[in-house]
């Protein structure tokens, strides 16, 4: 066997390994998506919501985008040519809502639940970012840039929050439940002597 044939064989083996690895990755991804769907995907939604609700860095980015971006930077440069501080905040918010829209698109999450929870914030972020996103699309020559984000916005527009919450059968307090006593809550600084706090008994009361 000549050196040329040996090199060809080795190259074919390397390509086969690469293709096999890629196929394994694709199959693993598809399997994970199926698993998420089978489990009603609640874990993925809850994890994402809790992460961003508790992440002060992301909250700062969203606040910056909504309240400061437009007064600081022109949208003409798109998103990636913004000054470093603005770019960091813009990309953080864009990527979050792009990911959210993608999960909705592939039906990995319940679109009604996500629309109900993020409805206003999705629309508000889009209003602030749309000029920058449109400019970035022109710069790239790609209409698909942040299209999943746009998908999430359109669903939010079509399904107002009250309607989404109604579909989810959210519970509301009856009109007559309008005092602390109706909810079993004491407004006294200290509970009456000899009384038992059921929350403290159950171990769920805060100190």
**Mean per-residue pLDDT, 128-150:** 96
| pTM attached to this predicted model | 0.64
pLDDT in tens, 76-92: 999 999 999 999 999 99
**Mean per-residue pLDDT, 94-115:** 86
Residue 132 CB neighbours (<10 A) = 27
Tell me the percentage of the chain whose pLDDT exceeds 70.
Answer: 67
In this predicted structure, what is the pLDDT of residue 202?
A: 42
Of the listed ranges 55-69, 117-131, 159-173, the one predicted with least confidence: 159-173
8 Ramachandran zone, left/alpha/beta (phi>0; psi -120 to 50): alpha
Of the listed ranges 11-15, 122-126, 153-157, the one predicted with least confidence: 11-15
Highest mean pLDDT among 10-14, 122-126, 167-171, 203-207: 122-126
Tokens for 90, please give them.
Answer: 């813009």
Residue ranges of alpha helices (H) inside the chain are: 3-38, 42-54, 56-67, 69-72, 84-105, 111-140, 147-158, 161-167, 198-202
Q: How far is CA 81 from the centre of its chain?
A: 24
């Amino acid at each position: 066997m000549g050196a040329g044939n040996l090199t060809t064989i080795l190259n074919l083996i390397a390509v086969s390994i690469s293709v096999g690895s890629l196929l394994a990755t694709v199959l693993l991804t598809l399997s994970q998506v199926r698993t998420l769907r089978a489990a009603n995907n609640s874990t993925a939604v809850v994890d994402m919501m809790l992460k961003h609700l508790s992440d002060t860095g992301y909250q700062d980015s969203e606040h910056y985008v909504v309240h400061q971006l437009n007064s600081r930077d022109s949208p003409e440069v798109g998103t990636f040519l913004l000054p470093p501080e603005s770019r960091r905040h813009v990309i953080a918010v864009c990527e979050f809502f792009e990911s959210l829209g993608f999960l909705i698109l592939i039906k990995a999450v319940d679109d009604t639940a996500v629309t109900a929870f993020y409805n206003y914030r999705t629309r508000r972020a889009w209003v602030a970012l749309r000029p920058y996103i449109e400019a970035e699309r022109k710069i790239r020559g790609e209409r698909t840039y942040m299209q999943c984000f746009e998908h999430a916005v359109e669903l939010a527009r079509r399904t107002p929050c009250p309607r989404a919450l109604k579909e989810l059968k959210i519970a509301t307090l009856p009109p007559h439940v309008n005092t602390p006593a109706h909810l079993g809550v004491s407004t006294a600084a200290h509970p009456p002597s000899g009384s038992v706090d059921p929350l403290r008994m159950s171990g769920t009361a805060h100190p």
